Amino acid sequence: MDRGERQLSANTPPPLRRLLGEARAIPELVRFSLRDRTAGLPKGDGHPVIVFPGFLAGDILTGPLRRRLGELGYWNAGWRFGTNFGLKPGLLTQMVHYVRSVNAGQRRPVSLIGWSLGGLYAREIAKRIPDRVRFVVTLGTPSTGDLHANNAWKLYERLNSHKVSAPPLDTDPGERPPVPLTSIMTPDDGIVAPACVDVGCGETWETVSVSGTHVGLVWNAEALRVIADRLAQPAGTWTPYRG
């Protein structure tokens, strides 16, 4: 994809055929739940991990991933704020306090995993309390391009008092947090334009591509492999994902 094509794709929602293809997330969930997905993956060191759900999702849908993280040896939890209807007033402050409390209770920096909109929350929390956050992994989270280049923005604006282009934040949503960041994307994403998920690669950040649907990223075996590899890095170190 050349620069012009990438720019266009970062400003255009995925086409209808890709949106309809998100129905494949259901059999993806069945396969992820029924098969052993942790065999051969690096074991964790027990540090705390919090998983933030996507738009209109909650802790039930991140449960399969969190169970696998537990099997790998990580202390983990959901976000515990019910269904994610959007960035409501005061919500970010509450989430920051929650991560602080987990950090204090576990006495170790916390890794944050955010699915879609939940990834924006993880990034923003890490910007505010980088000393409490060890690593950020996002799954299908838009970070660049037009914030309307997705098939969810109209519904989001109906349920919230702000525009997707003007979220109630005091930082640029596209600004990377000052902690290691891995952005996981799928080229078949039917919700968010894949180019908007691509953060490039740098000193402590990277984009990793996997196959599958946007909805199914939170129970994607390839994504779990990436997550396990990233979380297993020793605290304070970072090397790019090699696959």
- pLDDT bin (cut points 50, 70, 90) of residue 179 is very high
- Is residue 8 scored above 50 in pLDDT? no
Can you say whether the dihedral through the CA atoms of 77, 83, 87, 92 is positive or negative? negative
Residue-by-residue DSSP string for 176-212: PPSS-EEEEE-TT-SSB-HHHH-----SSEEEEE-SS
Best-predicted range by mean pLDDT among 9-23, 162-176, 217-231? Answer: 217-231
Residue 65 has pLDDT above 50, yes or no: yes
Task: Yes or no: say if 121 and 164 are a contact pair by the CB < 8 Å rule.
Answer: no
Q: How far apart are the first and last CA of the chain?
A: 22
Give the Cα separation of 194 and 13 in Å (integer): 9
Give the predicted TM-score (pTM) of the model.
Answer: 0.94
How large is the average pLDDT for residues 76-82? 97
Where is 138: in which H helix or E strand?
strand 133-139
Look at 8 and 204; give whichever has higher pLDDT.
204
Share of the chain above pLDDT 70, in %: 97
Closest CA to 196 of 24, 8, 1: 8
pLDDT of residue 4: 40
Q: Does pLDDT of 83 surpass 60?
A: yes
CA triple 48-54-56, angle to 5 deg:
130
Structure token pair of residue 35: 């098969």
Provide the pLDDT for residue 225.
97
Token pair belonging to 120: 């924006």
CA distance 14 to 151: 7
Q: What is the pLDDT of residue 47?
A: 97
Which domains, and CATH codes, for the chain? 3-231 (3.40.50.1820)
- Residue-wise pLDDT for 84-120, tens only, equals 999 999 999 999 999 999 999 999 999 999 999 999 9
- Note whether 96 and 128 are within 8 A (CB): yes
How far apart CA 41 and CA 216 sit, in angstroms, is 20
Distance CA 97, CA 128 (A): 11
pLDDT at 5: 40
- Average pLDDT in the 213-223 region? 97
Give the number of C-alpha atoms closer than 13 A to the C-alpha of residue 243, restricted to the C-beta side: 6
Strand order of the β-sheet with 205-209 is 75-78, 48-52, 110-115, 133-139, 181-185, 205-209
What number of other Cβ atoms are within 10 A of residue 188's Cβ?
17
What per-residue confidence (pLDDT) applies to 119? 97
Question: What does the pLDDT read at residue 9?
Answer: 72
- What is the rounded average pLDDT of the residues 173-182? 94
Q: How far apart are CA 206 and CA 184, in angstroms?
A: 9
